[in-house]
């Protein structure tokens, strides 16, 4: 985590603040729950972005005495909190939209709502592109990008929905207009629920120090097998967990009289070769490799 991540998160914070104020005011003016939902979502994004900035600054502070294993747990913890809040907002919007649909819909100022939709779509698309082009590996940045992507999709739905309402105005299907706004909120809420669910599942696994992505595990297991064959290692234990950008590897190797590891220099050479193999992966490796002749110390 570095200061450039904080600067990028500041862009998200400033954008969310401006977008939230405009969305809430415009939503109240046009009587559109969809636009109000958009503005409230941006307020949530603002609060979450501020939390991410403070967390990233705290992570940057050197504090090895209190955190000898680093502060990597803070990132997935904040992301899980963001996802929970996002999920609660979606559930609230779903409930409100269902009530509106069952009670005759909701009247809106279609022209004003459509104008907001176009503005929102352009604004969110520009910010989302900014995040998608960013090369940082921070989970904070990925979480922010996910939030702005959701807002871009939401804005697209607003434009399409209000274009339909404008087309139906002054036709025999005009009665449908009152149902368009709550229907859009319902569909958007259902779609958005999948995003916080994925974030909670992924980052929750990291907080619990579970085995990471199966492909990553298999690839590193393959690298280990190649080195074991080279050094004539008959048995080993590989324990792996990923938290934020850090990949934790705890490896116990059983050395026999036939193994090509008999000195400290040999073991360090093994470590060096394994470390070089990890450079190809988009992670920060934290590796502990222990050598023993007794199987009980490895199990």
Would you call 181 exposed, middle or buried from its count of C-beta atoms within 10 A (0-12, 13-18, 19+)?
buried
193: domain CATH number is 1.20.1510.10
How many structural domains is the chain composed of? Answer: 2
Q: Which of 207, 242, 273 is the last residue of a domain?
A: 207
- pLDDT, residue 174, reads 83
- pLDDT, residue 1, reads 46
- pLDDT, residue 281, reads 85
Residues 36 and 54 in one domain: yes
Residues 23 and 102 in one domain: yes
Q: What is the Cα 19 distance to its own chain's centre?
A: 21
Residues 148 and 225 in one domain: no
pTM of the model: 0.66
Q: Which of 207, 226, 244 is the last residue of a domain?
A: 207
Residues 7 and 41 in one domain: yes
Residues 152 and 123 in one domain: yes
- pLDDT, residue 269, reads 93
Residues 150 and 166 in one domain: yes
Angstrom distance (rounded) from CA 213 to CA 283: 12
Q: Sheet holding 284-292: strands in order across?
A: 235-243, 246-254, 284-292
Give the tens place of pLDDT for each residue, 237-294: 989 988 877 889 999 999 988 888 889 999 999 999 999 988 888 888 888 999 988 8
Q: Name the stretches of the chain with pLDDT < 70.
A: 1-6, 9, 49, 64, 134-140, 143
Residues 159 and 94 in one domain: yes
Angstrom distance (rounded) from CA 89 to CA 101: 18
Dihedral sign of CA atoms 156, 162, 163, 168 in order: positive
Residues 149 and 101 in one domain: yes
Tell me how far CA of residue 225 lies from CA of 17, 117, 221, 242, 257, in angstroms. 51, 55, 6, 20, 19
Exposure letters 128-138 (e unless 16+ CB within 10 A, then b): bebbeebeeeb
- pLDDT, residue 134, reads 64
Q: Which of 207, 230, 245 is the last residue of a domain?
A: 207
Dihedral sign of CA atoms 221, 222, 227, 231 in order: positive
- Residue among 35, 2, 32 at smallest CA distance from 19: 35
283: domain CATH number is 3.30.70.1350
Residues 15 and 35 in one domain: yes
- pLDDT, residue 169, reads 80
Domain range for 203 = 3-207
Residues 156 and 246 in one domain: no
Residues 187 and 85 in one domain: yes
Residues 70 and 167 in one domain: yes
């Amino acid at each position: 985590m570095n200061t450039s991540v904080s600067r990028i998160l500041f862009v998200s914070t400033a954008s969310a603040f401006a977008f939230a104020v405009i969305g809430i005011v415009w939503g109240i003016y046009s009587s559109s729950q969809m636009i109000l939902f958009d503005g409230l979502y941006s307020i949530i994004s603002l609060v979450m972005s501020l939390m991410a900035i403070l967390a990233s600054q705290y992570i940057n502070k050197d504090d090895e005495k209190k955190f000898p294993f680093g502060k990597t747990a803070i990132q997935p913890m904040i992301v899980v909190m963001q996802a929970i809040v996002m999920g609660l907002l979606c559930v609230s919007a779903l409930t409100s939209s269902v009530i509106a649909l069952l009670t005759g819909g909701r009247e809106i100022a279609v022209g004003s709502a459509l104008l907001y939709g176009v503005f929102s779509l352009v604004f969110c698309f520009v910010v989302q592109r900014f995040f998608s082009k960013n090369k940082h590996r921070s989970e904070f940045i990925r979480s922010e990008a996910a939030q702005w992507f959701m807002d871009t999709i939401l804005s697209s739905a607003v434009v399409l929905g209000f274009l339909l309402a404008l087309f139906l105005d002054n036709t025999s299907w005009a009665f449908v207009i009152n149902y368009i706004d709550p229907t859009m909120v319902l569909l958007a809420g259902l779609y958005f629920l999948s995003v916080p669910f994925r974030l909670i599942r992924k980052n929750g696994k990291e907080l619990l120090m579970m085995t990471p992505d199966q492909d990553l595990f298999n690839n590193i297991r393959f690298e280990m097998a190649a080195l074991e064959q080279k050094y004539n290692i008959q048995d080993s234990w590989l324990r792996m967990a990923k938290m934020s950008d850090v990949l934790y590897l705890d490896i116990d190797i059983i050395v026999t009289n036939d193994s090509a590891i008999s000195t400290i220099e040999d073991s360090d050479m093994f470590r060096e070769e394994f470390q070089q193999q990890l450079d190809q992966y988009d992670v920060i490796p934290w590796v502990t490799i222990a050598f023993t002749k007794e199987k009980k110390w490895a199990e």
